[in-house]
Amino acid sequence: MKLKNKQILEAQQALGKLLNTNLPVKQAYHIKKTLASIKKQIMFIDEQRKDMIKKYGVEKEDGNFEIPVDEKEKRENFFTEYESLLEIEEEIDVRKLTLDDLERVELTANEIETIEFMIEVSE
């Protein structure tokens, strides 16, 4: 399934919550497989973000990079480039679950919204 990088990052918290819930083997397996695919992409996004910070930022004494607050143009360029990265779609191995599969899990409406791509709703 194609997902935007933004969706992938937003789903991270809810999937983590699902992983820490005692679920039947089949549902736990589907969640783990989906999360494994998502984790790879999250690592890639983070690497790209760090490269952008190096590109637009300055190195601090501790070896880390930051974009100074007073460098408005560099900050705008960073955020423009980062937003473009978040809009890119990637193919993710998503295993679908039903709402019944998730009945043991306490999720907020916002968390459900972030993982809606993996929920099958039958009518």
Q: List the chain pLDDT tens, one digit each, 123 residues.
A: 999 999 999 998 888 888 888 888 988 898 889 989 999 999 999 999 999 999 999 999 999 999 999 999 999 999 999 999 999 999 999 999 888 888 888 889 999 899 999 998 776
The answer to whether residue 89 is domain-embedded is yes
Number of domain units in the chain: 1
Residues of the domain holding 39: 2-118
Cα–Cα distance for residue pair 120/97, rounded to 1 Å = 6
Cα–Cα distance for residue pair 42/80, rounded to 1 Å = 19
Cα–Cα distance for residue pair 33/53, rounded to 1 Å = 31
Phi, psi for residue 121 in degrees, rounded to 5: -110, 120
pTM across the whole model? 0.84
The three-point CA angle 81-90-111 to 5° equals 90
Longest dimension (CA), the chain: 59
The answer to whether residue 63 is domain-embedded is yes
The answer to whether residue 123 is domain-embedded is no
